[in-house]
Structure 1
Amino acid sequence: MANVQQRADPQDEVGQVDVDELEHAASKRAHRRWERVLFYWLCAGFTAFHLIILTGPVILRTIDDAIGTGLYRFFPINIDQELFRAIHLAWGAVLGFGFFAIARGRGRDGVPWYDWLFIAGATACAVYMWRNLDDLQMNQGAVYETPDLLYSLVGLAVVFEFTRRTAGNALTIIATVFMLYAVLGHWLPEPLHHDKSLKDLWFAFPYIYSNLGIFGPTLEVSSTFIIMFTAFAAFLTRSKAGDYFNDLAVALVGWARGGPAKVAVLSGVMFGSISGSSVANVVASGSVTIPMMRRVGYDRATAGAIEATSSTGGQITPPVLGAAAFLMAEATGIKYAEIAFAAIIPCFLFYVACYMHCDLHAAKRGLRGLPMAELPRLGPMMARFYMLAPIVVLVWAFTEGYSAFLAAGLGMLACIVVSWFNGIARDDDGRWRWRRSDAVMGWRAVIDALELGAKDSIQLVAVCAAAGIVVGVIALTGIGGRFAYIMQSIAGNSQLLAMFFTMIVVTILGMGMPTTAAYAIAAAVVAPGLVQIGVPKLTAHMFIFYYAVLSAITPPVAVASIAAAGMAKADAWKTSWIAVKLGLATFIVPFMFFYSPTLLGQGDWLEIAQPLLSATVGVCLLACATEGWLGGALALPLRVVLFVGALCLIAPEPISDGVGLAIGLGVWALQKFRPPVVPRKA
């Protein structure tokens, strides 16, 4: 048995990880004093602007209906949707060029002159649209004037450089290829040839830089759902909900076998409501869980891999999910609340698999949990259960049919309210008093949360703008139908082969770009083909979303694993492969809900119960086969047999489920009742 050390080894301190180094192409720059003040207020104003536009009319109308003030009539908050998105993009780009340098190591001396030019260009594009909105909308998709061409060229240059700095080269290159295809595709042979009158540059560039391209559905999602829920996550963070979630996870399972690893799994679930970024989740919870795992005997690479895998699942955890889920709602026409509901069972299976891996690894290595005396007391933690109120309010607002914007706004308000309870504490004389502390959100803390929300959304603005280029070109040239034809040619009539092909494509895309971008492009290129061969729309898009998320732990470019390895001071390559092993069961989950859409909540509970039970047993058996442990060490032949049994439980057919369950019970019985091994005498 591994003994729990009473003191942490100094060598086991958490390594430093720069989130921006992993998630952004360029490095964050150091600002001069006046620039810090300027961009602080620009960030706060960016989030406040969206809050006012998206929730202001609803709030004023509600007050008007309740007490008849007439405020809504005198203070109408209306803005053209295309202009709103243009302001959103321009303001986001201003922040992007303000915070991110042109290249790594070039951001030490404040914002240089050429970035002020980019900032001016982004601002000028929004002003040009404001001044010429009617003409631009009248001419959209038809004919454009020379100033429109210049305006679109400047705007596209801003978008491409903004994307390169914040989202990396992969997405920028893909957007460039699609843009070139729009202009030069008439020279290509079939099946890529198109003839959409895009030979004329006067038409191509203004068309893409319009509501039919960049300012289309993807930027609509960025300017509404994403910014609101990113702000909600920032308010959760500032109200100290993240600290509470970590402490609660430690109190609940820190004592169990391999407890710190199970804490990482549980905190991964809870942090899913705070951040849609795998790397941010790793850094936030890993600073606590990785040292704890090292204390009870986990090696560095395994500790990092467990944290990477559990943190990656945060993006598929309802009710917030990752930013790509909002794009899914727009692309499918399905309400976001329904998508969040559909993600419940896949999320459950993901974390059951993670938990089983942690438990089996601890049993195999003889790892204990933390001493009870060192754990937070559960009683005081339960007394602070009010910290979950913002999540409860959000879910309640969804179920009551409130708009997603208003639900997020109510969640932010709940964050402020519950933070004030953090100021209640008992004095030395035993009296309860309220005192202001860092955990109480006053006006400055609210502004800080607004600023944090803007910072966290910068990359997503660029991603959605670049994805708009891809989506616009696909819709305009008909290349999407050609991709569907190519997929049908490769897969034939086999949906399984098509899904396997999709898994490979999405995983490759996810290696080189953020989850949101990988999903947006795959949804535009691959999803129509899947739907065309009979895959249900929700299943196809959820399948793509799931693998876009899992790409964060897939070598060779596994950003979550790299971040966790940096914190654990482990080898990144080894950590990545251990994360794949730990997550092997989770890689099978998308095929489970492909075979059984009821696992996406499609049906009544009686229809869902049987496939849910078989899927749960299946991921558990797969974890046992992968770890080589089921009540004891499994011999290689038994591991292979158990792996086959787990695969039988994937397809929701009574015969295959019966075979898989029989195999699992048989292996368990062999392990349970086999005679003890007597060592031979020398």
Structure 2
Amino acid sequence: MSHTPESRDDASRDDVVETVNAEGVDEAAVESNRRLYTGWQWLLFGALAIAYSGFHLVSLNVYPLETWSFRIVHIAGALILGYGLYAGTRFADEDERRSATWLAWVSYAMLVPALYALVRVVMMYQAMSGGAMRIAPEIEAWHFGYPLILATAAGILLAWSYRQFRDRLSPADLVLMVCALAVAGYLLVMFNSPLRASTGTSFAPMGISYAAIAGSLLILELTRRVAGLALVVISAIFLVYVFAGPYLPGFLGYPGLSVGRFFSQVYTDAGILGPTTAVSSTYIILFIIFAAFLQASKVGDYFVNFAFAAAGRARGGPAKVSIFASGLMGMINGTSAGNVVSTGSLTIPLMMKVGYPGRSAGAIEAAASTGGQIMPPIMGAGAFIMAEITGIPYTEIAVAALIPAILYFASVYFMVDFEAARKGMRGMRKDEIPLFSKLVKQVYLFAPIIILIAALFMGYSVIRAGTLATASAAVVSWFSPHKMGIPAILRALQLAGTMAIQIIAVCACAGLIVGVISLTGVGARFSSLLLGLAGVSQLLALFFAMCISILLGMGMPTTAAYAVAASVVAPGLINIGIQPLVAHFFVFYFAVVSAITPPVALASYAAAGISGDNAMGTSVASFKIGLAAFIVPFMFFYSPAMLMEGSWMQILRVGVTATLGIVLLAATVQAWFFGPVKAWQRLVMLLGALCMIYGGIYSDIAGLAIGALMFLMQRGRHGGGGKAVAAG
């Protein structure tokens, strides 16, 4: 779709476009299975969400709870809120409102065993408080375990079986809420007694296993509702492996675990209450509250308007705005697909307006939004899990991520720029974008993020820095048109409680997988397989690790994708001699880019939904635009200076030459530098790009020589045109 300069000028005059003004970027999307309450139910669930967010702020800053108890309450709160707000099936239309009334009555009947199990938990608490050493096994089985599992399984099946009302709570989901309360109550009683030490042994009360089975079912079902089937299917495969392992051949085989031994351990810090929940209950929930406060003060709208003002007039303007805005929004948005929905609803239609095909527009937004997950200082939520698993300070991880993030966004930027030049696309007119001079006067809205970064590098803990940044967001809002009073603060807390449900469910579900890996030892067997491959070729071992990381991450949010891949792949990479930071960044990058990797690319699919183009075509195009992200992680191994490991001169050299290599790579993919690039020139440029991205001193010299030669050839051939293009 190429245009001459004259035709583009005519199009510019003919288009009557109002000035872009981003509004509603901060509004949370309402999912198709999300309930919208009115009246007392709206008040009830709003109050529950506020109380849930408030509980975390108080526990993290004022009155800390015992660790396991805190995490159990953290998961239970998300389950209760999740089942209250998200339905298990689509909502009924008018014709279906009277159907399956008998199923609703069956659901009410299932409240009896659920409530009975809950009452029994209270009685067990009284018995243990009165000096009992343990509860009789038959009481745990017949009066707690069996009724609880019956009610949980029946509640889930009933929630699938009939259409529900959007404006009221389903009785089946009420059953599941009571079951979540019973699971949490029992575990709190047992884990705050000497019986906590018996988990994983033949002396463990079977009640722990019953509670863990019901709790695992509740987590899997809520994950299905809020994040789709991908993670649930992977979790189910891992759970089947626990009991099928003894019958499997080769390196997958292991002696096996009984139901009691496995489930008495999986709901401890070896699994569900382990690293993923440790992070979701501290750093992630805190930064979700921070993001909610930023949204309440309309900072997201400001970020996007600022991006339009800064980059809108450049060649292919809305595409470059997308890169800038998605990088900023990625700091306050924990998922690639969520980032696409928030910024893409504005940038994708504008990209299409200036000449980008729907496929390219969607692919650019998907690639840019995925990059938001690797953008310091917040990096989605994966960086917090990395800090928790590796023990490396969070600030060190954020600094190490700087050069890779620059390379990724430089790659996407030049891919976009060269495509815009090749297709002759215009930027936006001055009257189409917000006034930069006006937006500069509100630059103080960046203050909360600056305070967050400053506090982290001044040595404050992540929790203290996040709390200060959250408070500063409320203070800064008083200098903007969107002042946050008590009602706005309560709305922000309510929004945070709602936003947290998906990520907490995903982290708990990922914890289930982590539990299987640690309790069965499959991670160690995978490490030995990688070690064997490394004996043949380290590059082959890295390629295999890349494939597994992407495969495990497909269809999953960043947090879960990284947590699972870090448990399976990272230990193997460390065993073949790779530094822990390098190994975890390698896995993290590929877990992140699984969002734009065909055939299951969540971010690309979300973008295709907005652009109206084919989902698979969009994912292939976004894979091409984000190509650098598939090359750069290999360079972590060959050139650790990319992760700030080494002297400043090494880091500077590697950073500069790798960036120039990324420019050549983008020119190779788009077949455009200062003008059209021939096939043989593309091969030479690809060689030069890989030499400079590789990072060795001799390869850098060779890459710079090739780059300089291609630059002179292109300038000589397209000198006049090059100037015209560069001015775009």
| TM-score above 0.5, yes or no | yes
Matched with 2:111 is: none
Change (3 A) 1:302 1:19: farther
Q: Return the letter of the residue paired with 1:548.
A: A
What are structure 1's unaligned runs of at least 5 residues? 57-76, 424-438, 678-682
Q: Report Cα offsets for 1:631-656 as digits up to 9, x if no partner.
A: 11011111122112111112211221
Matched with 2:440 is: 382
1:117 aligns with 2:126: no
Change (3 A) 1:675 1:421: closer
Matched with 1:523 is: 566
Change (3 A) 1:549 1:250: same
Q: Return the letter of the residue paired with 2:87.
A: A
Matched with 1:567 is: 610
1:193 aligns with 2:179: no
1:28 aligns with 2:28: no
Matches within 5 A, 1:216-615: 216-423=274-481, 439-615=482-658
The CA distance in 2 between the partners of 1:193 and 1:578, in whole Å, is 40
> Which one is further off, 216-225 or 493-502?
493-502
1:619 aligns with 2:662: yes
Shift of 1:184: 4.1
Shift of 1:136: 3.7
Change (3 A) 1:181 1:557: closer
The CA distance in 1 between the partners of 2:54 and 2:718, in whole Å, is 69
The CA distance in 2 between the partners of 1:308 and 1:539, in whole Å, is 26
Pick the aligned partner of 1:52 from 31, 53, 58.
Answer: 58
The CA distance in 2 between the partners of 1:218 and 1:300, in whole Å, is 37
Q: Contact (CA 8 Å) 1:47, 1:450: kept in 2 or not?
A: yes
Q: Contact (CA 8 Å) 1:129, 1:136: kept in 2 or not?
A: no
The CA distance in 2 between the partners of 1:293 and 1:162, in whole Å, is 36
Q: Report Cα offsets for 1:79-124 as digits up to 9, x if no partner.
A: 2110100000111111121122213444534322221111111111
Change (3 A) 1:216 1:497: same
Pick the aligned partner of 2:197 from 130, 138, 148.
Answer: 138
Matched with 1:98 is: 84
Q: Return the letter of the residue paired with 1:126.
A: A
The CA distance in 2 between the partners of 1:441 and 1:345, in whole Å, is 36
Shift of 1:493: 4.6
Shift of 1:181: 2.9
Q: Contact (CA 8 Å) 2:555, 2:601: kept in 1 or not?
A: no
Change (3 A) 1:166 1:292: closer
Pick the aligned partner of 1:151 from 211, 215, 238.
Answer: 211
1:176 aligns with 2:236: yes
Change (3 A) 1:176 1:413: same
Q: Secondary structure at the match of 2:252?
A: coil
The CA distance in 2 between the partners of 1:104 and 1:408, in whole Å, is 37
Q: Return the letter of the residue paired with 1:87.
A: V
> Which one is further off, 335-344 or 371-380?
371-380
Give TM-score, length-normalised by structure 1.
0.88
Q: Secondary structure at the match of 2:676?
A: coil
Shift of 1:287: 2.7
Shift of 1:32: 5.4
Q: Return the letter of the residue paired with 2:274.
A: G
- How many residue pairs get aligned? The number is 633
Q: Contact (CA 8 Å) 2:553, 2:565: kept in 1 or not?
A: no
Q: Return the letter of the residue paired with 1:54.
A: L
> Which one is further off, 100-109 or 481-490?
100-109
Shift of 1:300: 1.9
Q: Secondary structure at the match of 2:333?
A: coil
The CA distance in 2 between the partners of 1:675 and 1:421, in whole Å, is 50
Q: Report Cα offsets for 1:50-99 as digits up to 9, x if no partner.
A: 0110012xxxxxxxxxxxxxxxxxxxx24211010000011111112112
Change (3 A) 1:231 1:155: same
Q: Return the letter of the residue paired with 2:248.
A: L
Q: Report Cα offsets for 1:198-223 as digits up to 9, x if no partner.
A: 23x22221121223221122211111
Shift of 1:20: 7.3
1:6 aligns with 2:15: yes
The CA distance in 2 between the partners of 1:294 and 1:177, in whole Å, is 42
Q: Contact (CA 8 Å) 1:27, 1:100: kept in 2 or not?
A: yes
Change (3 A) 1:297 1:49: same
The CA distance in 2 between the partners of 1:329 and 1:647, in whole Å, is 31
The CA distance in 1 between the partners of 2:230 and 2:468, in whole Å, is 37
Q: Secondary structure at the match of 1:29?
A: coil
The CA distance in 1 between the partners of 2:222 and 2:304, in whole Å, is 35
Q: Return the letter of the residue paired with 1:538.
A: L
Q: Return the letter of the residue paired with 1:34.
A: W
Shift of 1:491: 4.1
The CA distance in 2 between the partners of 1:27 and 1:594, in whole Å, is 44
What are structure 2's unaligned runs of at least 5 residues? 92-162, 721-728
The CA distance in 2 between the partners of 1:19 and 1:486, in whole Å, is 44
Change (3 A) 1:570 1:650: same
Q: Contact (CA 8 Å) 1:493, 1:533: kept in 2 or not?
A: no
Q: Secondary structure at the match of 1:87?
A: helix
> Identity across aligned pairs (percent)?
44
Change (3 A) 1:107 1:592: farther
Q: Contact (CA 8 Å) 2:674, 2:718: kept in 1 or not?
A: no
The CA distance in 2 between the partners of 1:502 and 1:407, in whole Å, is 35
Shift of 1:128: 1.4
Q: Report Cα offsets for 1:340-377 as digits up to 9, x if no partner.
A: 11111111111111111111111111212111233222
The CA distance in 2 between the partners of 1:176 and 1:592, in whole Å, is 35
> Which one is further off, 116-125 or 570-579?
570-579
Q: Secondary structure at the match of 1:492?
A: helix
Q: Secondary structure at the match of 2:268?
A: coil
1:667 aligns with 2:710: yes
Change (3 A) 1:381 1:366: same
Which structure has more RCO (C-alpha within 8 Å, separation ≥ 6)?
1
Q: Contact (CA 8 Å) 2:555, 2:595: kept in 1 or not?
A: no
Change (3 A) 1:263 1:20: closer
Shift of 1:568: 2.1
Q: Return the letter of the residue paired with 1:6.
A: D
Shift of 1:266: 0.9
Change (3 A) 1:676 1:90: closer
Pick the aligned partner of 2:75 from 85, 89, 100.
Answer: 89
Shift of 1:675: 8.4
The CA distance in 1 between the partners of 2:242 and 2:611, in whole Å, is 46
Change (3 A) 1:487 1:20: farther
Matched with 1:651 is: 694
Change (3 A) 1:28 1:237: same
Q: Contact (CA 8 Å) 1:235, 1:412: kept in 2 or not?
A: yes
Change (3 A) 1:291 1:477: closer
CA RMSD, 1 decimal: 2.4
The CA distance in 1 between the partners of 2:582 and 2:692, in whole Å, is 19
The CA distance in 1 between the partners of 2:304 and 2:623, in whole Å, is 24
Matches within 5 A, 1:54-73: 54-56=60-62
Shift of 1:676: 9.6
Change (3 A) 1:78 1:572: closer
